[in-house]
Amino acid sequence: MAKAGLRAVVFAAVGALALAACGSGSGTSPSSSAGGGATTATSGPQKGGTLYILTNEKQFLHLDPQRNYTGTDLAFANGFLNRTLTAYKFAPGDGGAQLVPDLATDTGTATDGGKTWSFTLRDGVTFQDGSPITCADVKYGISRTFATTVITDGPTYAIQDLAIPTDAKGNSVYLGPYDTSSKNDVAAFDKAVTCSADNKTITMHLNQPVGDWNYAMTLLEFSPVPKAKDTGEKYDDNPVSSGPYQIENYTKGTSLTLVRNPKWSQASDPYRHAYPDKVVVQFGLDPSAIDQRLMADSGPDQTAVTLGGLQPENLATVFNDPKYKDRRFNGYDPYVRYLAINTAKVPNLKQRLAMMAAMDRAAYRTIYGGNFAGDLADGVIKPNLAIDYKPTNLWTGLLGQNIPDNGDPTFAKQLIAQSGAKMPTITYDYPNTPTQSKVASAVVASLGKAGITVKPNPIEPGQYYGVILDPKKADELMYAGWGPDWLNASTVIPPLFQPNGGFDVSQYNNAAFNAQINKAKATLDRTAQGAEWAALNVEAMKDGLVIPTLFGKIQYLVGSKIGGGYIWAPYGCMPFGDLWIKS
């Protein structure tokens, strides 16, 4: 029941990735994705061949569907292994925003003004062992999300939005399928999610109307898991496939091999084409070496793509040389990058604004590759969220005067003077990588010009989010990035600026702001809702919650025998599940 007018790009995944290797880039080249690729081959897509996917990661962070919440990993798993009730169309440009049915027969039916949603499963859908996928399997998958100590890292929309009561501390009374204690209120969950008598229709009852809940169904959080095969933490190693491929071999640090799932039938899955016979993911490669291999384009690398994008240092080479013209891609990723200001540690508004005014955003952008890196951001809502985006004029008068891209130390000093308090020393938390160290240098230098002392605090990338999400450990200023989970700023403003929103690193808790958020969430007229989100975006900027830096872009280079490449907007990466091999 997507509202009319949903046209722009839908995003999934959270901004948590993009730490080390995730690209940046710039765009001398033709405008965004434009659908490049297959100009050399005259014939259309064909079956067969082996698709290689190269990555510097040592393994997939998670293959457990309920724990998978990283843009590229979602695109990968959704394309090959995990079917969801709905999915995003495989199409370049804005076409990728279109919601299509996958496991379900249609994109869902809303009743009760959007408070109740039903989806009916297709006939003949099975897991890799041949057993049919039923409503109970989808329901079991959803239930796993509630076991927050076991099923970690995943999205929490089921916990937030399903009509399940919470206890005094605000935690759900349902604790997931693994907890056998008496305080686990299983009945509450069984009431919120129900199955029809024929076990084919799933109905979800929400605690408030959500007009585009069917978009949430694209998240693997809502994909089926057979209870008999669930192994808790260990399910990550060998998830049961419902898609056209199954895992033949998964050696972390080395490779993952997918072969065709004999039980999958094209008839039950009009969404996927499953072109290649085999998919091999190679882990633990040097990022520069990956780029060099793709540039050299020899042997098996001709049918290779990368999981993440090109490295900044190689962008000039790839985009200046016409020989790569047919196999390079440049487009927007779903992410907004920013520096989060901890309002609990810097309660003085003028001081927060001073930091915003002082920051050299141009230097930040250059470090990430200049034009390839993306556009300077003016808020946390990206223009791709067309209904919700409106320029905030943050840098053109919102704070009282124009602020150049290099920052305005004089204005910052004035703001500090007006603050009536001594500027505290600012500790800047960031994941310890070479690129991030350079950003830290830029923060130290530009805030320093305004007389603000900044102490850099590098944190091991693996622990980074654990630290900054802990109010006791987070410092004044933090590197961050966020991408909406679907085409609605309801997956941006609330998670970022509401207590327990999920990613409220600004530690912001403003009663009036919260009330406006709740009002916007409940607004079912999508245009009116968009205006409310846009207003809240301006509000957040005026209140100095973040220093927005980049509306990010991403660049890809693929092997010469890869067909069907484009930047798939929902996930900001290649449409892995729809690529094919040219013979």
Partner 1 sequence: MTVSAQVTPGSVPPAAFEEQEAIAGRSLGQLAWMRLRRDKGAMTAMITLIVIIALAVFAPLITRMLHIDPLSFDDKAVSQDGGLPIGPFGGMSLAHPLGVEPGTGRDNLARLLYGARVSLFISFSATIITCTIGVLVGIVAGYRRGWVDGALGRFMDIVLAFPLLLVALSMAPVLTQRLQSMGLSGNGGRVLYLILVISIFGWPYLARIVRGQVLSIREREFVESAVSMGAGTSRILFREILPNLWAPILVYATIVMPSYIALEASLSFLGVGVLPPTPTWGAMLADSVRYFVVDPAFLFFPGALLFIVVFAFNSLGDAVRDALDPRTGRV
Partner 2 sequence: MAAYIARRLVAMVGMLIALSIITFLLFAALPTDPALLTCGKNCTPQVVAANRVRLGLDKPLYQQYVTFAKGIFVGRDYGSGTATFHCPAPCLGYSYLKGEDVTSLIWNALPVTASLAAGAFIVWIVSGVLLGIFAALRRGTWQERSVLGFALVGYSFPSFFIGLLALFFVVIRWQLLPYPNYVPPTQGLLQWFQTLILPWITLALLYAAYYIRLTRNQMLETLGEDYIRTARAKGLPERTVILRHGLRAGLTPIVTSAGLDLAGLLGGAVVTESIFRLPGLGSLAIDAVVNADLPVITGTVLVAATFIIVANLIVDILYAAIDPRVRLT
Name the residues that contact partner 2, by CB under 8 A. 14, 16, 58-59, 61-62, 69, 147-150, 152-156, 169, 171, 177-181, 231-234, 236-237, 251-254, 282, 284-286, 289, 292-293, 296, 432, 460-463, 465-467, 469-472, 500, 502-503
Chain residues in the site for partner 1 (CB under 8 A) = 25-26, 28, 287-288, 292, 311-317, 319-320, 360, 362-363, 366-372, 406, 432, 434-435, 437-438, 440-442, 444-445, 455-456, 458-460
> What is the C-alpha to C-alpha distance for residues 226 and 235, in angstroms, rounded to an integer?
11
Paired residues of 396 in beta bridges: 402
Cα torsion through 392, 393, 398, 404, rounded to 10: 130
Complex with partner 1: residue 95 or 451, whichever CB lies closer = 451
Complex with partner 2: residue 153 or 405, whichever CB lies closer = 153
Element (H, E) at 329: strand 328-341
Binding partner of residue 362 among partner 2, partner 1, none, CB under 5 to 8 Å per kind? Answer: partner 1
Give the nearest distance from C-beta 453 to partner 1 in angstroms: 10
Give the nearest distance from C-beta 392 to partner 2 in angstroms: 26
Binding partner of residue 498 among partner 2, partner 1, none, CB under 5 to 8 Å per kind? Answer: none
Give the nearest distance from C-beta 310 to partner 2 in angstroms: 16
Complex with partner 2: residue 299 or 397, whichever CB lies closer = 299
Complex with partner 2: residue 275 or 283, whichever CB lies closer = 283
Q: Is the dihedral of CA 33, 328, 335, 477 positive or negative?
A: negative
Binding partner of residue 444 among partner 1, partner 2, none, CB under 5 to 8 Å per kind? Answer: partner 1
Query: Which burial class, exposed, middle or buried, applies to 545 when counting CB atoms under 10 A from its CB (0-12, 13-18, 19+)?
Result: buried
Binding partner of residue 282 among partner 1, partner 2, none, CB under 5 to 8 Å per kind? Answer: partner 2
Paired residues of 241 in beta bridges: none
Distances (CA, A) of 255 to 17, 53, 75, 580: 21, 10, 18, 20
> What is the C-alpha to C-alpha distance for residues 479 and 48, in angstroms, rounded to an integer?
43
Q: Residue 508 phi/psi, 5° resolution?
A: -95, 130
Binding partner of residue 535 among partner 2, partner 1, none, CB under 5 to 8 Å per kind? Answer: none
Give the nearest distance from C-beta 46 to partner 1 in angstroms: 34
- Which three-class secondary structure state does DSSP give residue 548? strand
Give the nearest distance from C-beta 354 to partner 1 in angstroms: 20
Q: Beta 99-101 vs 116-120: how paired, if at all?
A: unpaired
The letter for the amino acid at 372 is F
Give the nearest distance from C-beta 303 to partner 2 in angstroms: 16
Complex with partner 2: residue 130 or 462, whichever CB lies closer = 462
- Which three-class secondary structure state does DSSP give residue 57? coil
Give the nearest distance from C-beta 444 to partner 1 in angstroms: 6
Binding partner of residue 370 among partner 1, partner 2, none, CB under 5 to 8 Å per kind? Answer: partner 1
CB 550 within 8 A of CB 364: yes
Sequence-distant (≥ 6) Cβ neighbours of residue 442 within 8 angstroms: 360, 363, 364, 367
Binding partner of residue 466 among partner 1, partner 2, none, CB under 5 to 8 Å per kind? Answer: partner 2
Which is nearest to 222 in space by CA: 213, 212, 211? 213
Complex with partner 2: residue 279 or 450, whichever CB lies closer = 279
Complex with partner 2: residue 404 or 471, whichever CB lies closer = 471
Q: Could you count the other beta carbons within 10 Å of the beta carbon of residue 323? A: 11
Give the nearest distance from C-beta 231 to partner 2 in angstroms: 7
Sequence-distant (≥ 6) Cβ neighbours of residue 401 within 8 angstroms: 408, 411
Sequence-distant (≥ 6) Cβ neighbours of residue 171 within 8 angstroms: none
Complex with partner 1: residue 145 or 314, whichever CB lies closer = 314
Complex with partner 2: residue 178 or 441, whichever CB lies closer = 178
Complex with partner 1: residue 323 or 455, whichever CB lies closer = 455
Binding partner of residue 58 among partner 1, partner 2, none, CB under 5 to 8 Å per kind? Answer: partner 2
CB 502 within 8 A of CB 468: no
Residues in the chain: 583
Binding partner of residue 462 among partner 2, partner 1, none, CB under 5 to 8 Å per kind? Answer: partner 2
The 3-class SS string of 550-567 reads: EEEEEEEECCCCEECCCC
Binding partner of residue 319 among partner 1, partner 2, none, CB under 5 to 8 Å per kind? Answer: partner 1
Complex with partner 1: residue 257 or 437, whichever CB lies closer = 437
Distances (CA, A) of 531 to 391, 499, 537, 541, 545: 12, 22, 10, 16, 20
Give the nearest distance from C-beta 356 to partner 2 in angstroms: 26
Give the nearest distance from C-beta 440 to partner 2 in angstroms: 17
Which is nearest to 127 in space by CA: 201, 197, 223? 223
Binding partner of residue 233 among partner 2, partner 1, none, CB under 5 to 8 Å per kind? Answer: partner 2
Please list, residue by residue across 145-180, b when 16 or more beta carbons sit within 10 angstroms of its beta carbon and e when fewer do. Answer: bbbeebbebbbbbbbbbbbbeeeeeeebbbbbbbee
Give the nearest distance from C-beta 501 to partner 2 in angstroms: 10
